Structure 1
Amino acid sequence: MRFVKMHGLGNDFVIFEWKELQGVKDIASFSKRVCDRHFGVGADGVILVAPSDRAPFAMRIFNADGSEAEMCGNGIRCFAVYLWKRGRVADREFPVDTKAGIIVPRVTERNGKLAVKVNMGKPRLRASFIPIDVDAEQVVDYPLQVDGKTFALTAVSMGNPHAVIFDLPGDWEKVGESIEKHPLFPHKTNVEFVKVQNRKEALVKVWERGVGPTLACGTGACAVLVAGVLKGVLDREAQIHLPGGTLLVSWPDNQSDVFMEGPAEEVFEGKLSEEVLKVWK
C-alpha cells in the first residue's frame, strides 16, 4: 500500500489514494495506527484522495486519534500540491469536495517554492453553526471557566469549530485539552492561543482537536484573523505566525470569504509492509 508524506508548516499528513484502502475495514483505526510516531509512519492526520460527484476529487481527513475532521487548511494545501505535481488537475485553481463543502485552492509560488492560496469560504459565527452551546448569535469574549481560571473565548467555525483565546498561559497545553473537551462544544473544538504583536501580526499556539499541540493549523489561522477582526485587534489582512511558520490570511469584509496562503511540501513516498497491513486492515 503506497503513500506520500507531506506537511504544511510542520503540520504533517500521510496521503493515500482511495483505491489503496479498499481492503481496510475500519479507516478510523487504520488512520490511528498510521499516525503513530513510534509504530506507524507518524503524522498529525491521514488524508484520502477520494472520488466525488460534486468536484474532480474529494478530500477526507482523519486525525491522529482516528476521528474524522470536516476540514483542514494545511491538509488541503498538501492535497492541492499532491494533485498538481502529479498532473491530476489541468488548472492551478480547482474545486475540492470536503465535509465542510466545496473548497477552492489555487497553486501558486512563494520564494521559488510551491504554495497554495485557498478560498476557505465564509466563517460561521452563529453559535448553533459552530456549534457551541451558548444562547447567542455570535460568541465574542464569552467568559469560559476551565481549570479554575476564566478565559475570554471567541468562537468561530471555518467548517470545523475553533475556540480562540487572546491569551497565552504558561500551561496552555493543559488548558487547550480542557477546552477541547468542554461540554459547551458538542463536537469538541480546536483551540488557538493568541498573542497579538500588532494589527498585522499575531503569534499563535495550536491545540488541535483529536491531535494535541501541532506546529500549524490553517483553519485555526483563519479563525484567529476573524476573531481578531471581531474584537478589533487585527486588521483584515495579517500574518499569522505559527510554530511551524507563517500563513497570510485575509477577510476583505464581513460578508466575504476568508483567504489563506502558505506552503506545502512533499517529504517522501513510501509503502506499508505486508506484515503490518495484515494487522492494520
Structure 2
Amino acid sequence: MRQIFHKMHGLGNDFVVFDARDAAIAITPQRARAIADRHFGVGCDQLILIEPSDVAAARMRIWNADGGEVESCGNATRCAAILLGDGTTLETMGGILDLSVTDGGASVDMGAPRFDWDAVPLAYAMDTRALPLAWDGVETITPPIALSVGNPHVILFVPDTDALDIEALGRPIEHDPIFPERVNVNFATIESRTRIRLRVWERGSGATLACGTGACATAVAAIRSGRAESGVTVALPGGELVIDWQPGGTIRMTGPATHVFSGELDLAAFPA
C-alpha cells in the first residue's frame, strides 16, 4: 500500500508526518522505529500521525525514533500548524494546543507548565525547583530543576553548554530511576535576561538540533527562578525560538517550521 508522507522540520528537528484524517494509518512502535531509521527507512527524529479528533481540529500522535510514543513535541506542533492552517486547535496527549501560522513558521500556545513532583513525574516527592541530585561529569551552577510541559523535563544550568559531551551525559540522566517515564535533559547556559543557549538530549531520540518543549521548559525554569524574562530567545544548534510565559499563565512558543518535501512509501515494507 502506497502512502503519502511529508518530510518536515523545525530548526532541524525532523519529522515524517502522515495525514490520517481521511483514512486510518496503522502505526506501531516497530513500524515507527523502522520508518525513522536513517539508513533503512525515511529517517527522522520523530514520526507524526495527524488523526481526526472529537475535541479539536485534529489529533497529533508522536513516536520517537526508538518507537516509544510520547506526549508532546513543540517543533512538530509548529509543523502541524502549517499543515492544518491558521487558527486551528490540536489535541495531543499533553493537552489541547492553539495554533497560529506566522511568516515562516508558527506560534503555539503550549498550555501551562506543571511543577508538582508527581506531574513531572518523579519517583518520589522532592522540591522540583531544586532537585537534590547530581550526575558525574556535569557541573551545574544551580541545583537541577524539573517540570512538565506536557512531557517530562529536567533543566541543568551549566557554565558552558557547548563544552559538554551531551552524547555521553544525556543517556544516563534520561534513564535515571528518579524519572519513571524517563526524561528530556536540557543543558542550558544563561547569556542574558533575554537569551539562553540550549542543547537537549531528547528522551528516545538522543541529541537533536532543536527541542521545542525543551526550549519551553528551560525558559519557564529561567523565568521562574529570576534568571530571565518573558520573551526570552532560546538559541539551539538548529536555530532560535522565542518563548513567552508569565507565572500562572500558559507558554507561547514562536519559531520556524519547514515543509521539505512530500513523498510516497510502501507501508507493507515496514511491517507493523
Common topology (TM > 0.5):
yes
- Please name the residue that 1:102 is paired with: 96
Where 2:182 maps in the other structure, the secondary structure is coil
Deviations along 1:208-238, one digit per CA (max 9) or x if unpaired, are 0000000001111010111111222111220
- Please state how far the C-alpha of 1:194 moved relative to its aligned partner: 0.4
Measured after TM superposition, the shift of residue 42 of structure 1 is 0.6
Residue 139 (structure 1) aligned with residue 128 (structure 2): yes
> Does the C-alpha gap of structure 1 residues 268 and 143 become closer, same or farther in structure 2, counting only changes over 3 Å?
same
Partner Cα separation in structure 2 for residue 216 and residue 244 of structure 1 = 6
Q: 13-22 or 172-181, which moves further after superposition? A: 13-22
2:232 and 2:173 mapped to 1: Cα distance? 26
1:254 matched to 2:254: no
Matched residue SS, 1:173: helix
Q: Return the alpha-carbon distance in structure 2 between the equivalents of residues 31 and 223 of structure 1.
A: 26
The 5 Å alignment of 1:7-26 reads 7-18=9-20, 22=24, 24=26
Report the secondary structure of 2:33's partner residue: helix
The 2-side partners of 1:47 and 1:203 are apart by: 27
| Residue pair 1:15, 1:47 contacting (<8 A) in 2 also | yes
Query: In the TM superposition, what is the alpha-carbon distance from 1:41 to its structure 2 partner?
Result: 0.5
Equivalents in 2 of 1:115, 1:23: separation in Å?
27
RMSD: 1.8
Aligned length: 265
- The TM-score with structure 2 as length reference comes to 0.92
Give the equivalent residue in structure 2 for 1:116.
Answer: 106
Long gaps (5+) in structure 1: 85-91
Distance 2:8 2:137 in 1: 39
Letter in 2 for 1:146: W
Q: Which residue identity lines up with residue 135 of structure 2 in the other structure?
A: V
- Once the two structures are superposed, residues 2-61 of structure 1 have per-residue CA deviations (whole angstroms, 9 ceiling, x without a partner) of 10100000000001122688463x521111011101111010011101011111210111
Q: Which runs of 5+ in 2 are unaligned?
A: none
**Which amino acid counterpart does residue 153 of structure 2 have in structure 1?**
H
Q: State the one-letter code of the partner of 1:40.
A: G
Q: Which residue of the partner structure matches residue 87 of structure 1?
A: none
Determine the C-alpha separation between the residues in 1 that align with 2:75 and 2:262: 19
Percent of residue pairs bearing the same amino acid type? 41
* Aligned position for 1:52: 53
- In structure 1, the residue matched to 2:31 is 30
